[in-house]
Structure 1
Amino acid sequence: MTRCRLCGSEAMASVVDLGATPPCESFLSADQLDEPEPAYPLHLQVCTDCWLAQIPPLITPEETFKEYAYFSSFSTSWVEHARTFVADAVQRAGIDAEGSDAFVVEVASNDGYLLKHVVDRGIRCLGIEPSVNVGAAARDKGVPTLTEFLSPETGSAVRAEHGPANLVVANNVYAHIPDVVGFTQGLRALVADDGWVSIEVQHLLTLIEENQYDTIYHEHFQYYTVASAIQALASGGLTLVDVELLPTHGGSIRLWSRPAEVAGEPTQRVADVLAREKAAGLQELSGYTEFSARVAKVRRDLLKFLIEAAERGETVVGYGAPGKGNTLLNHCGIRPDLLAYTVDRNPYKHGRFTPGTRIPILPPEQIAADKPDYVLVLPWNLRAELTEQLSFVHEWGGRLVFPIPELSVVEVASRKVTA
């Protein structure tokens, strides 16, 4: 990659090179196991002018999202997160009134997991979701959904048909689009001149501090600090006015922005997070130079554990088949000889195989049937939720393994975990 996609600078520096991997949601059917499988370089770089971290756009969103394997509603904690967000967001935007002419738009609305809470409040809404299959699931829930990618043209068309949106939500999508400027202009086209835009995206600060390199994958084209997000928002005529630090996805930021003309001064929280980022060195190369070495240690520690377990004749299976898990499995070179299978609550993935590593994906009930010695938890960011769900492994003395931020093997008591 020779130029920054946000500011156009050629001052790009390497952060970590994870080799080449297949797209993380390209799960294989049994019929595809003997076919070629494309893999693409996964090399994170940072622009030393605007400090936007990014990977080359080697695959298009159309390739990834037209048919998508991720359904948000299968995460109990994520659905609750959405419910709480809606309650707070409609109050902030001043639209928590049934029967009003308020209008809420969510971009990348997935299966309606969030907007169904808006529908329940009697507030007019629309989801904009490019994936045909998950958009259909949203409509089945009664959530109006447009199957489309957001662009300035899409935003203008929705505004012309439905009116401007008092609140535009773009959760966990701002990293997924290579055209940062065009997407941001689309958000501005949607939102009312006195409206609000809420964006949730993983925080590069915690990604680096907590070794969360498995969240680097081809769906995520860029990785934001608050400092780089301010510049990205400004490219579309939006101004950051507030920020919240969230525990989701291992550490995220919720960016509250408004059209520049009405934004006013940002809150103290914005200044506080900017100061934390500067103190961590994320506006100079020193904040990035040690990350690659720490990533290598995560890989070595996990492989050592799996190899030693295999040599002892112990069984290890996985829990979950998230995109981040496929970055980890491919970077570590883990195959079924070290991880017999993984399980997932999403029936769409059952009978399929993980991309690149070709590990079978089975229903969750398989764990109780086989009673493995260890369960490697791939969606480690849901540690509390999954520790609860997997509390039954204590019945046969099974243990849970968390690979990030460092290898952690824990014994599970009934609804308790002790290190």
Structure 2
Amino acid sequence: MTRCRLCGSAALESVVDLGATPPCESFLAADQLDQPEPAYPLHLRVCTECWLAQIPPLITPEETFTQYAYFSSYSTSWVEHARSFVAGAVERLGLGPDAFAVEVASNDGYLLRHMVDRGIRCLGIEPSVNVGAAAREAGVPTLTEFLGPEVAAAVRAEHGPADLVVANNVYAHIPDVVGFTQGLRALVADDGWVSIEVQHLLTLIEENQYDTIYHEHFQYYTVASAIRALASGGLALVDVELLPTHGGSIRLWARPAEAAGEPSQRVSDVLAREKAAGLQELSGYTEFSARVAKVRRDLLRFLIEAADQGRTVVGYGAPGKGNTLLNHCGIRPDLLPYTVDRNPYKHGRFTPGTRIPILSPEQIGIDKPDYVLVLPWNLRAELVEQLSFVHSWGGRLVFPIPELSIVEPPAVEPPVMKEVTA
């Protein structure tokens, strides 16, 4: 990478170099284990002109998202988050039966199904064939496309302008920031609203969340850099909310620049926090790499000592972030014999790079391991409750981020296993 993808500057400085890893969602089938597996550098840099943090676009969205392993509906808390968002957006914007809402990267319809339930006309734009098909089966109208200005113009011509455009957990996933933002502007009505949720670089740095750096995420936003990105497509930031999702996210409320007006006080407050954290100067990034290295050392030390003591450790979850962690730490089946996941799509497959088998969650109850390493740490509250049955045999939960912590789950009656794996 020689130039910033947002402002074109050559002033890019290293933040953290995680070596080379395979794409985090490229789970392997058994017949692929003896085949070569491509790996790509994973090196985060920051532009000292516009302060957009970014990695080189070494893989294309088409390689990752045409068939996708992540189905949003398998996270109970994420479905509830979407329901709450829809309820709030309907009230905030006064959306009624005549409104039209579009979600970009709508996945399996986890959010728009709440619009359908309210009788609001809606459309999902989802590039992944398999998850888009699941959305249509659930009754959510879904177009299988990648968003760009041309696709947006075609949607607008067919369906009319959208009162609300939602782009949750996608603004980091597109290498063409300007073209994608222009697509959002083409979709939304001249007096409409765009709502974007994206991980906040402030919490990524402060909370050591380096495992959320992977090839699907081409860039990482502060509110300051998001303002620059939105402006590139003719949108202006009006309001911002700080969210706990994904370890700390921002919800950006934007409008066409000509209708935006002055931004809220919350925008000024978050900009001030970012400045105080040093994220508009290089000093705010310099210690991150050392803290990342400590996570690796602590986790490896724990796993090696557990193995030496004859203790069993298995994984819970097979999220993309987990694969960054496993590959950076060099964890193989000798230290983590398997992980489990609620998504049946992943069962019988293997984690990219580290080749750890992915099994059904029932396996934990069968094997009764001493420790369960929780890879989707961002769902900590949900999973401490969901995995409370581990207490029945004295097992404990291990969270690697932001620092290694070992948690004894609450003592409750073991749940019916189908509730654990639904």
TM bucket, shorter chain: over 0.9
Cα distance in 1 between the residues matched to 2:388 and 2:201: 32
Q: Is the 8 A contact 2:171 2:198 kept in 1?
A: yes
**1:313-332 mapped onto 2 (5 Å cutoff):** 313-332=310-329
State whether structure 2 residue 369 is matched by structure 1 residue 358.
no
Match of 2:385 among 388, 391, 396: 388
User: SS in structure 2 opposite 1:412?
Assistant: coil
**1:5-404 mapped onto 2 (5 Å cutoff):** 5-95=5-95, 97-98=96-97, 100=98, 102-404=99-401
Q: Residue 30 of structure 2 aligns to which amino acid in structure 1?
A: A
User: SS in structure 2 opposite 1:43?
Assistant: strand
Cα distance in 2 between the residues matched to 1:263 and 1:330: 44
Residues 146-203 of structure 1 deviation map (CA, whole Å, 9 limit, x = unaligned): 0000000011000000000000000000000000000000000000000000000000
Q: Residue 320 of structure 1 aligns to which amino acid in structure 2?
A: G
Cα distance in 2 between the residues matched to 1:54 and 1:16: 11
1:413 deviates by: 2.4
User: SS in structure 1 opposite 2:408?
Assistant: strand
1:415 deviates by: 5.1
1:93 deviates by: 2.0
Residues 323-349 of structure 1 deviation map (CA, whole Å, 9 limit, x = unaligned): 000000000000000001000000000
Tell me the TM-score normalized by structure 2: 0.97
Cα distance in 1 between the residues matched to 2:412 and 2:249: 27
1:66 deviates by: 0.1
User: SS in structure 2 opposite 1:375?
Assistant: strand
Cα distance in 2 between the residues matched to 1:415 and 1:287: 43
- Name structure 2 gaps, 5 residues minimum: 414-422
Residues 287-322 of structure 1 deviation map (CA, whole Å, 9 limit, x = unaligned): 000000000000000000000000001100000000
User: SS in structure 1 opposite 2:409?
Assistant: strand
User: SS in structure 2 opposite 1:413?
Assistant: coil
User: SS in structure 2 opposite 1:177?
Assistant: coil
User: SS in structure 2 opposite 1:282?
Assistant: coil
Q: Is the 8 A contact 2:227 2:236 kept in 1?
A: yes
Q: Residue 122 of structure 1 aligns to which amino acid in structure 2?
A: G
1:92 deviates by: 1.9
User: SS in structure 2 opposite 1:385?
Assistant: helix
Q: Residue 49 of structure 1 aligns to which amino acid in structure 2?
A: E
Cα distance in 1 between the residues matched to 2:91 and 2:261: 19
Q: Residue 114 of structure 1 aligns to which amino acid in structure 2?
A: L
Q: Is the 8 A contact 1:93 1:195 kept in 2?
A: no
Q: Is the 8 A contact 2:148 2:179 kept in 1?
A: yes
Q: Residue 5 of structure 2 aligns to which amino acid in structure 1?
A: R
Cα distance in 2 between the residues matched to 1:227 and 1:195: 22
Residues 70-106 of structure 1 deviation map (CA, whole Å, 9 limit, x = unaligned): 00000000000000000111222221x23x2x10000
User: SS in structure 1 opposite 2:280?
Assistant: coil
Q: Is the 8 A contact 1:16 1:291 kept in 2?
A: yes
Cα distance in 2 between the residues matched to 1:117 and 1:409: 37
Q: Residue 33 of structure 1 aligns to which amino acid in structure 2?
A: L
Cα distance in 1 between the residues matched to 2:363 and 2:230: 46
Q: Is the 8 A contact 2:385 2:409 kept in 1?
A: no
Q: Is the 8 A contact 1:388 1:415 kept in 2?
A: no
Cα distance in 1 between the residues matched to 2:299 and 2:243: 27
Q: Is the 8 A contact 2:316 2:372 kept in 1?
A: yes
Q: Is the 8 A contact 1:342 1:360 kept in 2?
A: yes
Cα distance in 1 between the residues matched to 2:242 and 2:9: 29
What root-mean-square deviation, in Å, do the aligned CA atoms of Structure 1 and Structure 2 show?
0.7
- Name structure 1 gaps, 5 residues minimum: none
Residues 259-288 of structure 1 deviation map (CA, whole Å, 9 limit, x = unaligned): 000100000000000000000000000000
Cα distance in 1 between the residues matched to 2:387 and 2:75: 14
Residues 6-61 of structure 1 deviation map (CA, whole Å, 9 limit, x = unaligned): 00000000000000000000000000000000000000000000000000000000
Q: Residue 66 of structure 2 aligns to which amino acid in structure 1?
A: K
Identical aligned pairs, as a percentage? 88
Cα distance in 2 between the residues matched to 1:94 and 1:55: 39
Q: Is the 8 A contact 2:17 2:44 kept in 1?
A: yes
User: SS in structure 2 opposite 1:67?
Assistant: coil
Cα distance in 1 between the residues matched to 2:176 and 2:410: 47
Q: Is the 8 A contact 2:168 2:196 kept in 1?
A: yes
Cα distance in 1 between the residues matched to 2:37 and 2:362: 29
Cα distance in 2 between the residues matched to 1:48 and 1:392: 48
Cα distance in 2 between the residues matched to 1:128 and 1:75: 21
